[in-house]
Chain A
């Protein structure tokens, strides 16, 4: 003798399954603001800049020395007929560059000085590591233990793989560089 399932119990299960099915159809949207970053290395240090501050990644190209400039200015490059300065980013941040290699790259940065005037310059880095979109929530404030040259230009810290990456502010870097010049 078989017992017919009660219509009430079946209905409830059907409702439950139906509810589950519909709930899986729905896309749960979680509001997360992401920021696109470019991670690069200078010596053993990993650093990042917001992608919006960069316009191009150039392979290492001939750099022409300009006399009379501070040592962190490596010179100028000819970028498709335009002349662009190149600064040794490590020199501004108190970091030692690795010897030049095929991985050496020039990031074309676009920032603003204190007066709000746009400034374009190449930034020499030892190698480009990655480009990624990172939730803002995963960026921690920079630790107070950062070396002095990084303080004031580092805006955050995040983990990439197993390494810590320091997020930089290009406008702050350029402003600090131009400070002594008045």
Chain B
């Protein structure tokens, strides 16, 4: 009796179950960018860096946190560039389970004029309550006149290109929407 041994299923890497996000405040809102896009975090030191709250049209918080500069990569179709924006403290790095990341609700997705607002996440706070976090898309920064800087070659080498250049947030949302009824 001739038969072939059943082949073991090809090894497929387990999909990530959580997403590393850098959280920060913007005019009283909690926002986040996928941590893999962050290149540097610094202090303003008198530099004129656009405030994200202004770019998003968010009123300034009554007690804004200290300003911080985020430098992150923004992957365009053919190249990566580096963008700087001013956000507010507190900054934190956290891991959010994929199940807590949601596409924009239909009415918001259809009417939101800011393409950088990509998704929402429900985040459990330390006090047991949950809050909503805006997930921003680094590919579409809300900057009309680009202040992007070309990355030095060393930095470009570490520019994130997961899964053929698609930011991981896109993969997560695609997976989320395919799982929803």
A interface residues (Cβ-Cβ under 8 A, vs B): 62, 64-70, 73, 76, 78, 81-85, 87, 113, 117, 119-121, 174, 177-178, 180-181
Are A85 and B114 within 8 A (Cβ)? no
* Given A78-B122, A81-B100, A121-B105; A68-B56 close (CB under 8 Å): yes
Q: How far is the CB of B133 from chain A (nearest CB, A)?
A: 9
Residue B117 is within 8 A (CB to CB) of chain A in the complex: yes
Residue B172 is within 8 A (CB to CB) of chain A in the complex: no
Are A70 and B111 within 8 A (Cβ)? yes
Q: How far is the CB of A2 from chain B (nearest CB, A)?
A: 85
Question: Which of B56, B100, B108, B110 sits near A76, CB closer than 8 Å?
Answer: B108
By secondary structure, the A interface counts as mixed
* Given A73-B108, A85-B107, A85-B108; A68-B117 close (CB under 8 Å): yes
B interface residues (Cβ-Cβ under 8 A, vs A): 29, 56-58, 99-100, 102, 104-108, 110-114, 117, 120, 122, 130-132, 134
Are A87 and B131 within 8 A (Cβ)? no
A to B contact number (C-beta, < 8 Å): 75
Closest residue of B by beta carbon distance from A76: B132
Are B113 and A177 within 8 A (Cβ)? no
Are A69 and B108 within 8 A (Cβ)? yes
Q: How far is the CB of B71 from chain A (nearest CB, A)?
A: 22
Question: Which of A65, A73, A78 sits near B29, CB closer than 8 Å?
Answer: A65
Question: Which of B57, B58, B107, B131 sits near A73, CB closer than 8 Å?
Answer: B107
Pull 11 A–B residue pairs with CB atoms less than 8 Å apart, ordered by A. A64-B132, A65-B58, A66-B134, A67-B57, A67-B58, A68-B113, A76-B108, A78-B130, A85-B106, A120-B105, A121-B107
Contacts of A178 in B (CB 8 A): 107, 110-111
Contacts of B104 in A (CB 8 A): 66
